[in-house]
Amino acid sequence: MEIIITMTRIFLILFLVDGLCSSFINNEVLDCENYITKSLKQEIASYQPIVDKIINETVNGCFKSSTYNELAYFVDKFGYRFAGTDNLENAIDYMLEKSKLKKLENVHGEKVAVQAWIRGQESATLLQPRRQNLPMLGLGLSIGTPPEGITAEVLVVTSFDELESRKSEALGKIVLFVPEYISYGKTVIYRSKAASRAAKHGAVAALIRSITPFSIRTPHTGMQSYDANVTKIPVAALTVEDAHMLKRISDRGQKVVVNLKMEAHFGDIKTSRNTIAELRGSEKPEKIVIISGHLDSWDVGQGAMDDGGGAFISWNALVMLKALNLRPRRTIRTILWTAEEVGYVGAKQYYKDHKNETQNWNFIMESDEGTFTPYGLNYVSGNRGACILEEVVKLFAPLNATSSLRSDYVGSDITLWLMDGIPGASLLQRNENYFWFHHSPGDTMDVEDPVSLDKNTALWAATAYILADLKEDFPRN
Amino acid sequence: MEIIITMTRIFLILFLVDGLCSSFINNEVLDCENYITKSLKQEIASYQPIVDKIINETVNGCFKSSTYNELAYFVDKFGYRFAGTDNLENAIDYMLEKSKLKKLENVHGEKVAVQAWIRGQESATLLQPRRQNLPMLGLGLSIGTPPEGITAEVLVVTSFDELESRKSEALGKIVLFVPEYISYGKTVIYRSKAASRAAKHGAVAALIRSITPFSIRTPHTGMQSYDANVTKIPVAALTVEDAHMLKRISDRGQKVVVNLKMEAHFGDIKTSRNTIAELRGSEKPEKIVIISGHLDSWDVGQGAMDDGGGAFISWNALVMLKALNLRPRRTIRTILWTAEEVGYVGAKQYYKDHKNETQNWNFIMESDEGTFTPYGLNYVSGNRGACILEEVVKLFAPLNATSSLRSDYVGSDITLWLMDGIPGASLLQRNENYFWFHHSPGDTMDVEDPVSLDKNTALWAATAYILADLKEDFPRN
């Protein structure tokens, strides 16, 4: 999941995200009798046997553990899959081939131009008051340092406000931001804007504490962006523990000196692809319900959680519906986005390329906040759609997933369409520890659990199936 | 904390430890009226005002946060303190100097010969089925590899039994042990014996999953020892996540090839020191109550938890009693052991050097399992001593630390004396997550908490004070 979006037509920066889903539209009690008929309620309720079949096949039947096993094979085979690399393209080829083998329909890649960013070798070394290696990760799209690195005294601040009040001290220094972690949504601004804020006052580089509430000395990377009007300076994340240590040393009045070396640079523009597969609708194939996750990852860990899990429940839900011969009236389209982590590049291209089609899009789903134990759906919808979804989640009692939450943010890649008024959803799941692993070497298969993946696959498949099969189109907001 | 002991006179290998304290002597209900008099109970109860004063000064008064602050300064100044290094000796000098400044008594170091073991550069690289760096830590006292490393196919097994059943496959291979983590006490045998078990069947190196129940891709080191009758081969720990990945790949029938490079080797014999400070007894100064922790650490992280916390509550308890002018009848001795992690070297030397004195030792305490929120005392004692301690812990109600557990294992360095029948204790504390950080780069000040350290210091000081001040000597078992 990447939270920063730089799409020029969107001025609303998506820092609404608090923890994972803040700024809920108040869950006002809707009187659904005003919005949906008794017969529509009955129609939705009539899907219970199909939902039960999907759940049973996924959780207990021959699809049991298949999402986990497919995902594990994939991430063990390819490791992380960073935008602009051949490895990601090989992984996309694999998914296209595999989709064809599973007899998914309209399987193809859609081209996306991606500017490669290459991390290269990098290090941070504490030189004063004593020598120590500081595990670190450069932040996305950062510039590099000269080959000998940048050696400078460190100015430690806990906030942008503190930096402003001490701006005269920043000249020629490396500014280290050690904000208290409030929530990802509230604290990530220190990742995205550290370099620009520090450069404004003459700093030669910037460092941040990793944006995570808990650490076992693991650094976390992620995107940052430079403001237009300031000098670009290198920026990297230290571990929480080392950032705290440097703050303690600095608070004691001791001078802290660090050498930062980063080979980070931009490479060529490469061609990547969004990966598409469908189950074509039996009656209205032009009408679309989308389930999605992103196939690319950061260049650390295995990208199993962010977003292997989301991609594979979206893919395996389609495989399973196909295998069970559950073909709905409308088309279900699985999209495995590319280059999400480096700025929703795949989604933005798809948005441009499919402008003429979206009037037919009924509903759009993305899983990009982990695939832990699910308990329902987090959705964006108008009142009538909300009443439909409230009926749909009632069918998920066998999964203990009958909760729903009406929000104004439910995804990363799908945000552009949600903002155009297309209704959509993501998972409600027990992802309290998501940021412990996020964008770090700790994002591996060990975070994933076969049973949770089965449940998410079932919930995803059943939701998509019902919404794609209802007699009437899903209402626009 | 190091669990392996190789003392020749001890044949009982200390793998009794299960989680942290297994094999409890059944907490049979003692009828203490048979063991201690009403007047002794009253004498113990009369210490409540002193206990309250100690607690109040430590938790709320001018000693509030002092253990944390002293420890943080120390570990930030020295970082990890590995046996055989000048850095450890500088840290010992600092503690001796600091102890004199605090006007502790009989402050001195006692020499200990330590065989230096030097990790050097090391790496593990997956070569097949794809190339990937595998974060690792060589295990203590391992031999190194040739400069080019050892490149071999990996045989993955989950147990010694599985290795025995597949022993014909081990020749020329690197054996990777991926046991399920049951508890530290039950699983650590795979760290201590991996090399010898693998070498027995012709393996060229051994790898293990790190011995921890939870990981964010952090490797954990620790001691291992070679059996006398097998070839010594290099041995290292991978992260849990990578060990699981190699097992999955191997389970799929794919060939796994790894290159292991380790510069590990032995250095010179160095002189280290146990650090001693006392508060001399007012009436029976030759009688001794000991509080202790070890000052050395592994060569990763900051050694803040293992065992900075234990060392500093033992040291600061003495500082605080001195400052409060609480001088008991007997002597309280603080010992900061050296070279615990490489085989209790400091404790073994002290055991030899103080044989003639131990008839005067009343009670011996060590904290080496973390300094999290305390809830009482874990002790080894005869029945009469048990009844005394049960009365003592009642005084710790202001700390919510009135629990007690009678065990047959309570420490690491102090084990030799406990086995000689000298009664002793360690902390009961909420250290459920101790092994998440143990022997890893994650052992930093972020694991420590000022309030918990205050509480432990108070509990430690009050226990030592009462036992050193009671009219009668603490009964031998």
Tens digits of per-residue pLDDT, A386-420? 999 999 999 999 999 999 999 988 889 999 999 99
Tell me which chain B residues have a C-beta less than 8 angstroms from the C-beta of A240: 446
Q: Does residue A16 carry a pLDDT above 50?
A: no
Using CA atoms, how far residue B147 sits from A264, A269, B133, B175, B260, in Å, is 30, 39, 17, 20, 10
Inter-chain contact A441–B135, Cβ cutoff 8 Å?
Answer: yes
Answer whether A440 touches B (CB < 8 Å): yes
Q: Does residue A21 carry a pLDDT above 90?
A: no
Taking residues B270-285, report their average pLDDT: 98
Beta pairing class for B235-238 and B136-138: antiparallel
Q: Which residue of A has its CA nearest to B78?
A: A130
Q: Does residue B18 carry a pLDDT above 80?
A: no
Answer whether A202 touches B (CB < 8 Å): no
Q: Shortest CB distance from A440 goes to which of B78, B79, B216?
A: B216
Instruction: Give the tokens for residue B36.
Output: 């201690």
Residue closest to A256 by CA, chosen among A191, A167, A173, A195 = A173
How many interface pairs between A and B have CB atoms less than 8 angstroms apart?
A: 81
Predicted local confidence at residue A408, as pLDDT: 85
Tell me which chain B residues have a C-beta less than 8 angstroms from the C-beta of A76: 245, 248-249
| B32-117+268-469 carries CATH number 3.40.630.10 | yes
CATH of B138-263, one of 3.30.1330.60, 3.60.15.10, 3.50.30.30, 1.10.132.10: 3.50.30.30
Quick one: pLDDT band at residue B477, thresholds 50, 70, 90? confident
Rg of chain A over all Cα atoms, to the nearest angstrom:
23
Tell me which chain A residues have a C-beta less than 8 angstroms from the C-beta of B304: none
Q: Which residue of A has its CA nearest to B245?
A: A76
Residue closest to B79 by CA, chosen among B274, B299, B272, B292 = B299
Answer whether A255 touches B (CB < 8 Å): no
Inter-chain contact A248–B72, Cβ cutoff 8 Å?
Answer: yes
Taking residues A147-175, report their average pLDDT: 98
Interface mutation target, options A134, A216, A244, A306, chain B, most CBs of B under 10 Å: A216
Quick one: pLDDT band at residue B10, thresholds 50, 70, 90? very low
Inter-chain contact B130–A244, Cβ cutoff 8 Å?
Answer: no
Q: Does residue A25 carry a pLDDT above 70?
A: no
Inter-chain contact B442–A248, Cβ cutoff 8 Å?
Answer: no
d(CA B412, CA B450): 24
Residue A340 is a catalytic residue? yes
Question: ipTM of this model?
Answer: 0.94
d(CA A163, CA A177): 9
Interface mutation target, options A241, A306, A437, A443, chain B, most CBs of B under 10 Å: A241
Quick one: pLDDT band at residue A19, thresholds 50, 70, 90? very low
Predicted local confidence at residue B29, as pLDDT: 75
Q: Is A102 exposed, middle or buried (0-12, 13-18, 19+ CB in 10 A)?
A: middle
Indicate the residue type of A300: V
Tell me which chain A residues have a C-beta less than 8 angstroms from the C-beta of B132: 79
Taking residues B252-263, report their average pLDDT: 98
Q: What is the set of active-site residues of B?
A: 340
Inter-chain contact A446–B249, Cβ cutoff 8 Å?
Answer: no
Indicate the residue type of A367: S
Inter-chain contact B217–A444, Cβ cutoff 8 Å?
Answer: yes
B420 three-class SS: coil
**Catalytic pick among A340, A369, A390, A448:** A340
Tell me which chain A residues have a C-beta less than 8 angstroms from the C-beta of B301: 217
Task: Tell me the percentage of chain B whose pLDDT exceeds 70.
Answer: 94
Query: Min CA distance, A91 vs chain B (Å)?
Result: 13
**What is the second-level CATH architecture of the domain A120-263?**
3-Layer(bba) Sandwich (3.50)
- Quick one: residue A392, left, alpha or beta (phi over 0 = left, psi -120 to 50 = alpha)? alpha
Inter-chain contact A216–B440, Cβ cutoff 8 Å?
Answer: yes
Task: Tell me the percentage of chain A whose pLDDT exceeds 70.
Answer: 94
Taking residues A163-189, report their average pLDDT: 98
Query: Min CA distance, A182 vs chain B (Å)?
Result: 17
Q: Does residue A7 carry a pLDDT above 80?
A: no
Average pLDDT of the residues of chain B: 94
Domain-wise residue ranges, chain A: 32-115+268-469, 120-263
B122-128, strands of its sheet edge to edge? B132-134, B122-128, B257-262, B150-157, B174-177, B205-209, B235-238, B136-138
| A32-115+268-469 carries CATH number 3.40.630.10 | yes
Residue closest to A126 by CA, chosen among A144, A149, A145 = A149
Q: Which residue of A has its CA nearest to B435?
A: A216
